[in-house]
Structure 1
Amino acid sequence: MFPSADSITPADLALNAERCGFESVFFPDHTHVPLGDGPPGYSGHDVPEFYRTTMDPIVAMTAAATASTRIRIGTAVCLVAQRDPIILAKQIASIDQLSAGRVILGVGAGWNDEEMRNHGTEPSTRFGVLRERVEAMSAIWQQKEASYEGKHVTFDRMWSWPKPVQVPRPPVLVGGGGPKVLDRVLSYGDGWMPFREGTDQVSDALTGAVEEFEHELTRRVARLRRLAEVVGRDRPSVTLFNACPHRAALDRYREMEIDRVVFWLPSLGTDDTVDTLHRLDALFR
């Protein structure tokens, strides 16, 4: 959910989701919306209201973590190419400590070129920047005296605490659906977070578009796990973001060996959001 000043709070979302028995809650990341005259769908004049008003995910995660005791707290996704890796490493480790090891870090390279440029990241370098910053944060989390040298990130030996509770690090889920995303998962991720286009109004009937998406997703999940076995990697998890909230669709996701499904919640107040959580919970009863 995109939390805002007018929506349910991140703390109340996590607490109510925990009471319903959900495994995790996820928050998105957009620091601002540039008002340039970019292509349709990319200008600030075109994006939905919830993009403009969303809270910072690190703050939202902290509130959610301290209000709950069991539910996992994640990002879907953190725009790492727009964040300082040394600061972000400390923030994520701190939340993992506060939550007793409940953080899931979904990461992405971003899609808004002007937003990236405002943070000093050239869009053409964003995938390389993302990889190096994840690797650099992993070094900080895992090493007593961390250092890293890359094209985009370089620092000499340093001390940085706290370390995450989770060893060797909080799970890193690589978002995206491009042709090279599976390589990125195997290179520096622990799992893949593909995105389903569409709304919750889609019925659970298999339309041509749904069938095509699920066929391709099944093929890529199988390929990811074959490649992981070939290179001796642990089995990467798969988290489907914006899952279709219908019982038949959930049955198909199980058959496709999807590990986790994440439902998109509208940015609404407490009562409406809690009603939605109960409706989603009923799908599993």
Structure 2
Amino acid sequence: AGWNLEEMENHGTDPARRWRRMRETIEAMKAIWANDEGEYHGELIDFDPIWQWPKPAQDPHPPVIIGGDGPTTLKRVARYGDGWMPIDGRNRDDFAPAIAELNDLAAEQGRGPMTVSLFGSGPNPARIEKHAKAGVDRIVFLVPPAPADVVLPLLEERARLAEQFA
């Protein structure tokens, strides 16, 4: 929903209402994707019937991945998302308890297990193995914005590492 409060304000979103805006945006997008005439009437997002084509190839809609790792994130992911993307090393070292809690919360909503994509992990094989055993489905590595002679070797290294866990 936006961790950078100054940035939120600069873009016209009251930080106190940022989750409400995100929730309504998710609900509105799902209404557009799922219906020939999408319509949504919320407090912050409001529109009469509209058309959007082509519809997404994914059924019923593209996966909605929610980031974050605050005290309400897992409940929000279980209710509104299709997956969770926390940042590695930010709030926790072991993701297994949170993944178990997320899947329990999803089951309470009548939903299946959630996918977990971990953002910002370093190329540490032992740590990646630990995350895989905890239930992390995907790791998103950071690569610096740099010239090709710097980036290409890093991509090759990450590709070799990914092959170990495929």
Asked if the contact 2:106–2:113 (Cα under 8 Å) also holds between the matched residues in 1, the reply is yes
The structure 1 residue matched to 2:33, chosen from 138, 141, 162, is 141
Question: Matched residues in 2 for 1:172 and 1:280: separation?
Answer: 25
Secondary structure of the residue aligned to 1:214 is coil
Q: What letter is aligned with 2:65?
A: L
Question: Matched residues in 2 for 1:110 and 1:179: separation?
Answer: 14
Give 1:278 deviation, angstroms. 0.7
- 1:79-111 residue CA offsets vs partner (Å, 9 max, x unmatched): xxxxxxxxxxxxxxxxxxxxxxxxxxxxxx112
Aligned residues: 163
Q: Which has the higher contact order (CA 8 A, sep 6+)?
A: 1
TM-score (norm 2): 0.91
Q: What letter is aligned with 2:113?
A: R
The structure 1 residue matched to 2:12, chosen from 117, 120, 137, is 120
Residues 26-37 of structure 1 aligned to structure 2 (within 5 Å): none
Task: Confirm whether residue 155 of structure 1 aligns to residue 47 of structure 2.
Answer: yes
**Superposition RMSD in Å:** 1.6
Give 1:162 deviation, angstroms. 2.2
Q: Which residue of 1 is the match for residue 73 of structure 2?
A: 181
Secondary structure of the residue aligned to 2:44 is coil
Give 1:156 deviation, angstroms. 1.0
Question: Matched residues in 2 for 1:113 and 1:251: separation?
Answer: 34
Give 1:221 deviation, angstroms. 0.6
TM-score (norm 1): 0.54
Q: Which residue of 2 is the match for residue 279 of structure 1?
A: 157
Unmatched runs of 5 consecutive residues or more in structure 1: 1-108, 199-211
Asked if the contact 2:119–2:141 (Cα under 8 Å) also holds between the matched residues in 1, the reply is yes
The structure 1 residue matched to 2:61, chosen from 162, 169, 173, is 169
Unmatched runs of 5 consecutive residues or more in structure 2: none
Q: What letter is aligned with 1:214?
A: D
Runs of 4+ that moved beyond 6 A: none
Q: What letter is aligned with 2:2?
A: G
Secondary structure of the residue aligned to 1:141 is helix
Secondary structure of the residue aligned to 2:69 is coil
Q: What letter is aligned with 1:219?
A: P
Asked if the contact 2:122–2:142 (Cα under 8 Å) also holds between the matched residues in 1, the reply is no
Secondary structure of the residue aligned to 2:62 is coil
- 1:225-275 residue CA offsets vs partner (Å, 9 max, x unmatched): 112123210211111111231111121111101111111111112221111
Secondary structure of the residue aligned to 2:117 is strand
The structure 1 residue matched to 2:115, chosen from 226, 229, 237, is 237
- 1:18-45 residue CA offsets vs partner (Å, 9 max, x unmatched): xxxxxxxxxxxxxxxxxxxxxxxxxxxx
Give 1:136 deviation, angstroms. 0.4
Task: Confirm whether residue 248 of structure 1 aligns to residue 126 of structure 2.
Answer: yes
Give 1:222 deviation, angstroms. 0.6
The structure 1 residue matched to 2:92, chosen from 201, 210, 213, is 213
Question: Matched residues in 1 for 2:3 and 2:86: separation?
Answer: 15
Question: Matched residues in 2 for 1:243 and 1:114: separation?
Answer: 26
Give 1:112 deviation, angstroms. 2.5
Secondary structure of the residue aligned to 1:174 is strand
